[in-house]
Amino acid sequence: MNNVNLQKGTVVVLKKGHPCGKNLWEIIRFGAVCKLRCLGCQREVLMNRVDLRKKVKKVVENEGNNSSDN
Ligand SMILES: [Zn+2]
């Protein structure tokens, strides 16, 4: 997904879930390397931004201030 607006605070579903059974991740740091926290078990993982965009299936929540177009 290249056209989604990802940033700190965004909650996403990935194409592949976490072994804990939950597939809901919050972006807690967004940069060249992003840090995501699993909302099921609170574990944190690092992922580079290019990989992250490839793995995002859906954006669940976006707290950002970019509320422009769809
Ligand atoms: Zn987990």
Task: List the chain pLDDT tens, one digit each, 70 residues.
Answer: 667 789 999 999 999 989 999 999 999 999 999 999 999 999 999 999 999 999 999 999 876 555 444 4
Would you state the pLDDT for residue 15?
95
- Provide the residue ranges of all domains of the chain, joining segments of one domain with +: 11-61
Alpha carbon of 63 to ligand 1 centroid (Å): 22
List residues bridging with 27 in a β-sheet. 36
Alpha carbon of 16 to ligand 1 centroid (Å): 11
Going by the DSSP 8-state scheme, the letter that residue 22 receives in this structure is -
Alpha carbon of 67 to ligand 1 centroid (Å): 29
- Judged by phi (left if over 0) then psi (alpha if -120 to 50, else beta), residue 20 lies in alpha
